């Protein structure tokens, strides 16, 4: 299948590579030319605009930072909707993490031109994007999901239809709350044990197989112990997701006190210049409080 892909950053480029590996043809675009060049080097065909991608492909995937960027790619000048004829049967799968209400708005604009849409954000960060083992959570019609599911599984280990349009991003917000709070809990616990004189590596070995063990701990504690905060998922992007969670919670009268607390921590880290670090840099907040470093 010829697939259009818009957004070739930390996540998008390895996702394109996995589509190519699975035997699909990919037409790729990004506003950063170097990213397009990297996709072309991997075997994709480069495009000069979102419009050009949409004109060439029935299935178009977007992987962009936030709602405004997705709206621009879809509805802006030389955007996706400029490149499609009405009722052409094209499908947009937005794999970005955006506010659910924005996903619904974009869906309405697409539907007016006969473009079917899923919102299908992912979890797993850069490592699982590279491996092709992302968790994909989708919202939209069952028939559209069935049409693209096998393509999505070229990039993910699981792909679940969670409900109507917007449901994918609601589930992603739940995921991001759990991840952020988990990183914070792990960081607080390891700061305590380190300050009390127990080596972090021994704490990790002792508890990872018990009830406290988690995917987050397995992924983030080795990074924290190595002082490696190279981004797989950036602090600033997690700030965006948690703000979207708070906005969604407010509109649904669902209080999110832990989310508010961790969002304050992340904003503080960003203000200190750590916004482009991996979100495991939450550990730096606890290291500063305890005046210790979790290294081992």
Q: 30 phi and psi, to 5 degrees? A: -150, 150
Catalytic residue among 172, 220, 234, 240, which? 172
* Structure-token pair, residue 240: 């965006």
Cα 137 from Cα 186, distance rounded (Å): 25
DSSP-derived letter for residue 222 is H
CA 177 vs CA 69, 79, 245, 262: distances in Å: 23, 32, 8, 9
CA 5 vs CA 76, 231, 238, 241, 245: distances in Å: 16, 22, 23, 22, 26
| Secondary structure (3-state) at 219 | helix
* C-alpha neighbours within 13 Å on the C-beta side of residue 120: 30
Contact 150, 18 (CB under 8 A): no
172 is catalytic: yes
CA 8 vs CA 31, 144, 296: distances in Å: 9, 24, 35
Cα 51 from Cα 201, distance rounded (Å): 51
Active site residues: 172
């Amino acid at each position: 299948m010829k697939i259009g892909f818009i957004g070739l950053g930390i996540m998008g480029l390895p996702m394109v590579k996995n589509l190519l590996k699975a035997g699909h043809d990919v037409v790729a675009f990004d506003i950063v030319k170097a990213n397009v060049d990297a996709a072309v080097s991997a075997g994709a065909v480069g495009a000069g605009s979102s419009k050009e991608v949409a004109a060439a492909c029935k299935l178009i995937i977007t992987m962009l930072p936030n709602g405004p960027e997705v709206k621009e790619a879809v509805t802006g000048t030389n955007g996706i909707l400029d490149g499609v004829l009405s009722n052409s049967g094209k499908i947009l799968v937005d794999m970005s993490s955006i506010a659910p209400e924005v996903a619904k708005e974009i869906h309405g604009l697409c539907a007016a031109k006969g473009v079917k849409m899923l919102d299908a954000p992912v979890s797993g960060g850069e490592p699982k994007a590279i491996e092709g083992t992302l968790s994909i959570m989708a919202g939209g019609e069952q028939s559209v999901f069935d049409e693209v599911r096998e393509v999505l599984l070229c990039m993910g280990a699981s792909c679940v239809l969670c409900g109507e349009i917007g449901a994918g991003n609601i589930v992603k917000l739940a995921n991001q709350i759990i991840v952020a709070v988990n990183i914070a809990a792990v960081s607080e616990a390891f700061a305590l044990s380190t300050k009390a004189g127990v080596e972090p590596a021994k704490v990790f070995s002792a508890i990872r197989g018990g009830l406290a063990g988690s995917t987050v701990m397995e992924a983030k504690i080795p990074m924290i112990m190595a002082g490696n905060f190279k981004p797989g998922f950036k602090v600033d992007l997690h700030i965006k997701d948690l703000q979207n969670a708070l906005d969604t919670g407010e509109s649904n009268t669902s209080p999110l006190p832990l989310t508010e607390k961790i969002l304050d921590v992340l904003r503080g880290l960003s203000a200190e210049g750590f916004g482009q670090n991996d979100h495991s840099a939450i550990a730096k907040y606890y290291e500063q409080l305890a005046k210790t470093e979790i290294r081992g």
